[in-house]
């Protein structure tokens, strides 16, 4: 397809087009951050990023081998935008994902066996074969299984945050939508209400530039959707969603701050990219090859790994060891699911109503 001048511009000099976060002046050197803690946490984040990547990759393969039903919604390329914010959530926080937040549920601590079981519609999953394979939820971790409709979880997250504020509980609600979801009335209703009551919500917009086949320029009049924050009377930020240290510095400050003050909400637009189609049945031929290639160069994982080595946080060997460990865990989880029993067909009649 014909690229707009703006898109051509993105292809030429992507970095310059992505604003750095507007952090407070006194925050900039982050002198207050314990350097040792930062290193330890970045290592943990690396592990979750890698685990997410390997789990997704193996899932895609299973779909291509015809070993799972339905279709697979790969999030490869978008790991950082889900893993990093979720890393700063605590037990008691609420997470309202959209449908490409594998990194969030893995970082939240959901056992991989549960996720793999759902992907293969096994009895051992939380949903027991009733939900779409990719739409993972984990009630124990206050992680609501997605409702497929775009931005459907945004208002629900706001309701969770309302309940925290009403009861003076120091929890936050973290909710994800794609840039496409922000065109829904429900998204507006949710953000507006959260702004009125200064509720503790982090609204993540994962801008992967394409809502299925519709580009951002046909989705919003201003491609910086976070600017809408001004209209709501709250703060909004836009940043490179593939820059892990940048995301770390932002969320490690903002999430604890919002939790401590039980609000106000913040909109964070994270520019990123999904490498593959909307799902595996989508060849994604609406995108220019050069664009895909450019974003693959900006893969959050190897770039972050280079950073870790450069900063002396991890060695090449340690990074390789993490990769092996992640692969092993993923293999084990899928082995478990492949050998797990199928649900009985008649159990589709269960769980319609709570007793």
Partner 1 sequence: MGAPKTYIDAIVEAQAEEMRRDANVFVLGEDVGIYGGVFKATKGLMDGFGFWRCLDTPISEALIVDAAIGAALMGMRPIAEIQFGDFIGGAHDPICQQAAKIHYRTGGTWKVPIVIRVANGWAMGVGLYHGQANEAWYMHVPGLKIVAPSTPYDAKGLLKSAVRDDNPVIYLEQKAIYRVPWLKEELPEDDYTVPIGKARIAREGKHLTFISYGWVVHNCLEVAKKLEEEHGISAEVLDLRSILPYDKEAIITSVKKTSKVIITHDAPKTAGVGAEISAFIAEEAFEYLDAPITRVCSFDTPVPFYSKMEKFWLPTPEKLYTAALKLFEY
Please tell me the distance from the alpha carbon of residue 120 to that of residue 156, in angstroms, as a whole number: 28
Q: Which of 100, 108, 238, 278 is catalytic?
A: 278
Pairing of β 94-96 and β 173-178: parallel
* CA pair distance 16, 81, nearest whole angstrom: 19
Which x/- pattern over 296-335 shows residues binding partner 1 (rule: CB under 8 A)? ----------------------------------------
Work out whether 344 is an interface residue with partner 1 (CB under 8 A): no
Q: What is the C-alpha separation between 52 and 302, in angstroms, rounded?
A: 14
Q: Which of 238, 274, 287, 298 is catalytic?
A: 274
Contact window for partner 1 (CB under 8 A) among 52-60, 144-152, 238-246, 254-262: 144-152
Binding partner 1 (rule: CB under 8 A), the pick from 120, 145, 216, 268 is 145
Give the shortest CB-354-to-partner 1 separation in angstroms.
4
For the question of residue 30 being annotated catalytic, the response is no
Whole-angstrom distance, CA of residue 17 vs CA of residue 324:
36
Residues of span 119-138 touching partner 1 by CB under 8 A: 125-128, 130-131, 135, 137
Is the dihedral angle over the CA atoms 326, 332, 338, 344 positive or is it negative?
negative
The answer to whether residue 278 is catalytic is: yes
Min separation Cβ 223 and partner 1, Å: 25
Percent helix / strand / coil, the chain, rounded to 5: 50, 10, 40
Cα separations in angstroms, 112 against 59, 166, 175, 274, 308: 12, 34, 21, 22, 26
In angstroms, rounded to a whole number, what is the distance separating the alpha carbons of residues 265 and 13?
Answer: 32
Shorter beta-carbon distance to partner 1: residue 115 or 158? 158
Q: How far apart are CB 162 and partner 1 at their closest, in Å?
A: 5
DSSP 286-322: TS-HHHHHHHHHT-HHHHHHHHHHHTTSS-HHHHHHH
Q: Smallest distance from the beta carbon of 55 to partner 1, in angstroms?
A: 20
Does the protein bind partner 1 through residue 144 (CB under 8 A)? yes
Q: Are 181 and 187 in contact (CB under 8 A)?
A: yes
Q: Which residues lie below 8 Å from residue 205, measured CB to CB, with a gap of 6+?
A: 177, 178, 179, 181, 182, 225, 226, 267, 268, 269, 270
CB of 146 to partner 1, least distance (A): 9
Residue from 48, 176, 193, 273 in contact with partner 1 (CB under 8 A): 193
- Cα–Cα distance for residue pair 99/103, rounded to 1 Å: 11
Backbone angles phi, psi at 72, to 5 degrees: -115, 130
- Chain residues 88-117 in contact with partner 1, contact rule CB under 8 A: 94, 96
Query: Using CB under 8 A, which residues numbered 163 to 192 contact partner 1?
Result: 163-166, 173, 185-186, 189-190, 192
Determine, following the binding rule CB under 8 A, whether residue 149 of this chain makes contact with partner 1: yes
Tell me, by CB under 8 A, how many residues bind partner 1.
46
Instruction: Choose, from 27, 30, 60, 286, the residue flagged as catalytic.
Output: 286
Separation CA 237–CA 27 (nearest Å): 15
- Choice from 83, 104, 115, 161 touching partner 1 (CB under 8 A): 161
Q: Rule CB under 8 A: choose which of 80, 102, 152, 262 binds partner 1.
A: 152
Under rule CB under 8 A, residue 351 binds partner 1: yes
Q: Which residues are catalytic?
A: 274, 278, 286
- Per CB under 8 A, residues contacting partner 1 are 94, 96, 125-128, 130-131, 135, 137, 139-140, 142, 144-145, 147-149, 152, 154-166, 173, 185-186, 189-190, 192-193, 196, 350-355
């Amino acid at each position: 397809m014909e690229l707009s001048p703006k898109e051509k511009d993105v292809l030429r000099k992507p970095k310059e087009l992505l604003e750095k976060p507007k952090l407070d002046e006194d925050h900039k050197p982050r002198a207050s951050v314990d350097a040792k803690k930062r290193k330890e946490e970045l290592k943990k984040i690396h592990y979750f990023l890698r685990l997410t990547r390997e789990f997704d990759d193996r899932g895609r393969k299973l779909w291509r081998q015809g070993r799972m039903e339905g279709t697979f919604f790969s999030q490869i390329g978008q790991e950082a935008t889900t893993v990093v914010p979720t890393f700063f959530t605590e037990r008691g926080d609420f997470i309202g994902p959209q449908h490409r937040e594998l990194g969030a549920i893995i970082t939240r601590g959901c056992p991989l066996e549960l996720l793999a079981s759902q992907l293969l519609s096994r009895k051992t999953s939380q949903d027991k074969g009733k939900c779409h394979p990719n739409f993972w939820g984990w009630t124990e971790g206050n992680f609501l299984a997605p409702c497929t409709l775009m931005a459907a979880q945004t208002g629900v997250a706001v309701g969770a945050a309302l309940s925290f504020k009403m009861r003076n509980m120091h929890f936050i609600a973290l909710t994800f939508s794609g840039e496409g979801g922000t065109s829904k009335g429900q998204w507006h209703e949710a953000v507006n209400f959260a702004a009125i009551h200064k509720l503790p919500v982090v609204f993540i917009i994962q801008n992967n530039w394409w809502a299925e086949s519709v580009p951002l320029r046909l989705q919003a009049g201003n491609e910086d959707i976070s600017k809408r924050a001004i209209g709501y009377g709250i703060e909004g930020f836009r940043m490179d969603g593939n820059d892990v240290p940048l995301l770390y510095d932002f969320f490690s400050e903002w999430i604890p701050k919002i939790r401590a003050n039980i609000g106000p909400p913040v909109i964070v637009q994270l520019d990123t990219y999904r490498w593959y189609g909307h799902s595996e049945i989508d060849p994604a031929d609406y995108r220019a090859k050069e664009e895909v290639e450019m974003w693959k160069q900006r893969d959050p994982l190897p770039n972050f790994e280079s950073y870790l080595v450069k900063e002396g946080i991890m060695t090449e060997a340690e990074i390789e060891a993490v990769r092996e460990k992640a692969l092993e865990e993923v293999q084990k989880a899928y082995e478990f699911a492949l050998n797990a029993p199928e649900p009985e067909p008649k159990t589709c009649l269960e769980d319609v109503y709570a007793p």
